[in-house]
């Protein structure tokens, strides 16, 4: 059942938590995700928890769009091999629909076929370089391969959602979590612990239970221990 959202006007006029405390952490304003929370307001855009439409929905007939966004989205996690068969069919029929590639890559990751997953991610980025998840997924592949220098290029040197998409005023929570999580790992890779912690702070504010939030927290903890270990080695030397 969908959560009930407050009106747009009311959302934008209120910047306080339910306890009445005004929050201003990092460069955003908002409150922690709760069961009845539909929107978190950032400085220039909202993080939305309800389902959102996008411009790609019109690329396919309505019944196919429903199959992709609902049935295959779930099937990619529940029965990835079955999802792969249907998604590969749809990829041939609708090669310009980016979410088909997104769910197909997810399904291949679940069956541990890294080669096919990377192939799909790279094709999606080639075909749809402006699609946010195409950017994020390709950036994650580059991080795993040690091609850290490519991240600013992929993001057009814009490390903020609003800078990347100035025409948008809303982003879904899954977009925000994936984006900030990827950035948090990138900043760790370039030894910018402060910025990585800032990304974690944002993630904990919008979705503390997300796997990406937990993974970034784990990687930051490991990086801190490694730094402590290196300092101890230097002291002994």
| Rounded alpha-carbon distances, angstroms, from residue 224 to 146, 192, 194, 227 | 20, 12, 12, 5
**3-state secondary structure labels for all residues of 141-174:** HHHHCCCCCHHHHHCCCCCCHHHHCCCCCEEEHH
Domains of the chain are: 55-231 (1.25.40.10)
Least confident interval from 45-59, 93-107, 168-182, 194-208: 45-59
- Predicted pLDDT at 51: 86
Q: What is the pLDDT of residue 129?
A: 96
Spatial CB neighbours of 190, under 8 Å, sequence gap ≥ 6? 148
The pLDDT confidence band at residue 39, using thresholds 50, 70 and 90, is low
Query: How confident is the model over 50-106, as pLDDT tens digits?
Result: 988 888 989 999 999 999 999 999 999 999 999 999 999 999 999 999 999 999 999
Is the pTM for the entire model greater than 0.85? Answer: no
Pairing of strands 46-48, 39-41: antiparallel
Euclidean distance between CA atoms 124 and 172, whole angstroms: 20
**φ, ψ of residue 210 in degrees (nearest 5):** -65, 145
Give the β-pairing of 46-48 and 170-172. parallel
Res. 231 pLDDT band, cuts 50 70 90: confident
Classify each residue of 21-48 as buried b or exposed e, where b means 16 or more C-beta atoms within 10 Å of its C-beta: eeeeeeebbbbebeeebbbbbbeebbbb
Q: Give the residues across from 170 on adjacent strands.
A: 46
Task: Give the pLDDT of residue 38.
Answer: 56
């Amino acid at each position: 059942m969908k959560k009930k959202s407050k009106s747009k006007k009311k959302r934008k006029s209120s910047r306080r938590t339910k306890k009445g405390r005004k929050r201003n952490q990092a460069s955003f304003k908002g409150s922690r995700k709760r069961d009845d929370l539909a929107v978190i307001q950032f400085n220039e855009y909202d993080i939305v928890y309800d389902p959102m439409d996008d411009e790609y929905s019109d690329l396919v007939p309505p019944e196919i769009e429903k199959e992709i966004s609902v049935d295959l989205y779930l099937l990619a996690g529940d029965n990835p091999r079955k999802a792969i068969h249907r998604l590969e069919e749809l990829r041939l029929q609708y090669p310009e629909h980016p979410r088909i590639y997104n769910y197909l890559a997810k399904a291949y990751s679940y069956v541990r076929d890294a080669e096919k997953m990377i192939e799909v991610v790279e094709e999606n980025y080639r075909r749809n370089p402006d699609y946010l998840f195409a950017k994020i997924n390709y950036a994650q592949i580059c991080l795993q391969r040690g091609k850290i220098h490519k991240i600013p290029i992929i993001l057009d040197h814009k490390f903020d959602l609003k800078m990347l998409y100035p025409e948008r005023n809303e982003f879904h929570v899954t977009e925000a979590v994936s984006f900030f999580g990827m950035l948090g790992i990138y900043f760790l890779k370039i030894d910018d612990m402060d910025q990585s912690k800032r990304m974690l702070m944002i993630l904990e504010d919008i979705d503390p239970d997300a796997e990406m939030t937990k993974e970034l927290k784990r990687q930051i903890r490991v990086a801190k221990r490694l730094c402590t270990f290196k300092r101890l080695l230097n002291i002994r030397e």
